[in-house]
Chains A and B, each alone.
Chain A
Amino acid sequence: QITLKESGPTLVKPTQTLTLTCTFSGFSLTTYGVGVGWIRQPPGKALEWLGVIFWHDEQRYNPSLKNRVTITKDTSKNQVVLTVYNVGPADTATYYCAHREHYKRALDFWGQGTLVTVSS
């Protein structure tokens, strides 16, 4: 059974760095083809793709984020970390991590999400 859960601060000040952790179980991020993606959703708005990290450490990002986002993994802890630099009010959102299935190119299991507010 695959599960994922996001954790991190609920409130971040503008210009600071946001770090969120996705802790997962039921799969290994050392298995060929496996990836973990990050998606966010501002209140009342659409889902936005942030990026993904794969089993072999390749990362792919949404170009619109202009290098403000990095994704790393710690396979020994079954964790993936999302870092968003120089946050602003537009980064206020619910952040989700999801298991990215290789052969379907789909996000087949999602975490419950965590709401992060950017405010001074």
Chain B
Amino acid sequence: QSALTQPPSASGSPGQSVTISCSGTSSDVGDYDFVSWYQQHPGKAPKLIISEVDKRPSGVPARFSASKSGNTASLTVTGLQADDEADYYCTSYAGSKQDVVFGGGTKLTVL
């Protein structure tokens, strides 16, 4: 069982927007502004798409945005494209004992 809770699936049609939630606790998501999101296509390694709650690394399209409120973080993908179909994982810094906790992943389907 993953420490952070994500919906197992999400979907949207091309051009639409979809939001994926990531629920943690006051010891991880709620306590630190170090939430990251990763995109993983089948058979590939994960790729960092968001760090520090809402910051996009160079090369990540602006269609990907994220936010945090309390113990819950969210990733929003606008203008869905076929290539956005992938698994998405959230992580949060959880302090110096464990360092990172992972979410269980969300499979995004572009209809």
Give chain A's interface residues, CB within 8 Å of chain B: 37, 39, 46-49, 51-52, 60-63, 96, 100-101, 104-108, 110-113
**B-chain residues with CB within 8 Å of residue A105 when the two chains form the complex:** 32, 34, 36, 51-52, 93, 99-100
**Majority SS of interface residues in chain A?**
strand
Are B51's CB and A96's CB within 8 A? no
- B98's partner among A62, A101, A106 (CB-CB below 8 A) is A62
Whether B69 is near chain A, meaning CB under 8 Å from some CB there, is no
**Cβ contacts under 8 Å, A106 to chain B:** 34, 36, 48, 51-52, 91
Given A46-B2, A46-B89, A113 and B100 touching (CB < 8 A)? Answer: no
Q: Give 1 or 0 for each of B24-59: 1 = CB within 8 Å of chain A CB.
A: 000000001010101010000111100110010100
Can you name the residue of chain A whose Cβ is closest to the Cβ of B50?
Answer: A106
B45 touches A104 (CB 8 A): no
A-B contact pairs, 23 of them (CB 8 A): A46-B2, A46-B104, A47-B102, A49-B101, A52-B99, A60-B99, A61-B98, A104-B34, A104-B36, A104-B55, A105-B32, A105-B36, A105-B52, A106-B34, A106-B51, A106-B52, A107-B38, A107-B46, A107-B91, A110-B45, A110-B46, A110-B47, A112-B45
Give the number of chain B interface residues (Cβ < 8 Å).
Answer: 27
**Chain A residue at minimum C-beta to C-beta distance from B57:** A108
Main secondary structure of the interface of B (DSSP, over half): strand
- The residues of A that contact B32 with a CB separation of less than 8 Å are 105
Which chain A residue has the least Cβ–Cβ distance from B103?
A: A46
Question: For B96, what are the chain A residues with a Cβ–Cβ distance below 8 Å?
Answer: 60
Q: How far is the CB of A2 from chain B (nearest CB, A)?
A: 12
- A49 near B100 with CB under 8 A, answer yes
Nearest CB to that of B8 among chain A residues? A46
Contacts of B34 in A (CB 8 A): 104-106
Contacts of A111 in B (CB 8 A): 45
Residues on the B chain within 8 Å of A112, using CB: 45
| Nearest Cβ on chain A to B92's Cβ, whole angstroms | 9
Question: Nearest chain A CB to B83's CB is how many angstroms away?
Answer: 18
Q: A46-B89, A106-B51, A106-B52 are in contact. Are A37 and B45 (CB under 8 A)?
A: no
Q: How far is the CA of A112 from the CA of B104 in the complex (A)?
A: 20
